């Protein structure tokens, strides 16, 4: 588990921290607090996932933003893994976005994104982005805003690999008639 700091919690240089951990052999990462993957961090993170069988990145109780590929020099690799965004005890406010690059696109006036969505947005994705695993969102009464070109290249092996360490089938006593 990687803990962000501040109020609300944010993991500084999140994309770079994740890339470093993946390159060190950590392929199942839990971030406690917010995370923004900036354009400057995109290549390193995506390239780090390319040499794996797939990674799992879970962002818990914070904002999440993916700002997409850099406009020049973008890697041809795609993010190889599964992204989870899970908010249980966190409710976003527009002020929480101030330190994120995403704020420049999400909360300017006038905005193409309706205010009723901006006030409940906890996930923002901008620019071109390619994922070979998947994205999962579990943030009740919150919004995920996509202002981008999203390319899913579903790869069952990547999804299976991302969850294999978390699934162990076992019988639960009392789950069926075991008299």
Joined together, the tokens standing for residue 40 give: 């400057």
To the nearest 10°, the Cα dihedral for 133, 96, 74, 81? -10
For the chain, the domains span 2-166
Helix-then-strand count for the chain, H and E: 5, 9
pLDDT the model gives residue 151: 72
Which whole-number Å values give the CA distances from 47 to 44, 66, 71, 124, 149, in the listed order?
Answer: 5, 15, 16, 22, 19
Residue 131 in this model has a pLDDT that exceeds 70: yes
Residue 114 in this model has a pLDDT that exceeds 80: yes
Alpha helix ranges (H) inside 24-155: 39-50, 103-106, 115-118
Residue 133 in this model has a pLDDT that exceeds 60: yes
Joined together, the tokens standing for residue 167 give: 């699934």
Residue 37 in this model has a pLDDT that exceeds 70: yes
pLDDT the model gives residue 176: 61
pLDDT in tens, 75-94: 999 999 999 999 999 999 99
Report which listed range, 21-25, 124-128, 175-179, is most confident. 21-25
Which contacts qualify for 156-160: CB closer than 8 Å, 24 or more apart?
157/53, 157/54, 158/53, 158/54, 158/80, 158/81, 158/82, 158/132, 158/133, 159/54, 159/82, 159/133, 159/134
Exposure string of 74-96, with b = 16+ CB inside 10 Å and e = fewer, is eeebbbbbbbbbbbeebebeeeb
Overall average pLDDT of the 150-163 stretch: 76
pLDDT the model gives residue 48: 98
pLDDT band, very low/low/confident/very high, at 156 (cuts 50, 70, 90) = confident
Overall average pLDDT of the 153-160 stretch: 78
Residue 121 in this model has a pLDDT that exceeds 60: yes
Predicted model pTM:
0.87
Overall average pLDDT of the 70-78 stretch: 90
pLDDT band, very low/low/confident/very high, at 171 (cuts 50, 70, 90) = low
CA-closest candidate to residue 89, choices 42, 56, 66, 122: 122
pLDDT in tens, 94-112: 999 999 999 999 988 888 8
**What's the whole-number average pLDDT of the chain?**
89
CA-closest candidate to residue 63, choices 129, 168, 143: 143
């Amino acid at each position: 588990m990687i803990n962000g700091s501040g109020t609300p919690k944010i993991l500084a240089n999140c994309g770079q921290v994740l890339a470093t951990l993946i390159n060190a052999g950590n392929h199942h990462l839990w971030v406690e607090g917010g995370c923004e993957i900036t354009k400057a961090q995109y290549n390193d993170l995506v390239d780090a996932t390319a040499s794996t069988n797939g990674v799992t990145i879970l962002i818990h109780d914070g904002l999440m933003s993916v700002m997409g590929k850099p406009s020049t020099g973008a890697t041809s690799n795609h993010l190889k893994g599964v992204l989870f965004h899970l908010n249980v005890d966190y409710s976003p406010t527009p002020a929480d976005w101030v330190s994120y690059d995403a704020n420049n696109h999400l909360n300017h006036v006038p905005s193409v994104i309706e205010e009723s969505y901006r006030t409940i947005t906890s996930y923002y994705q901008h620019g071109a982005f390619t994922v070979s695993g998947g994205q999962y969102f579990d943030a009740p009464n919150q919004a995920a805003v996509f202002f981008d070109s999203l390319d899913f290249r579903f790869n069952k092996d990547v999804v299976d690999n991302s969850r294999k360490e978390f699934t162990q089938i076992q019988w639960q006593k009392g789950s069926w008639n075991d008299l």
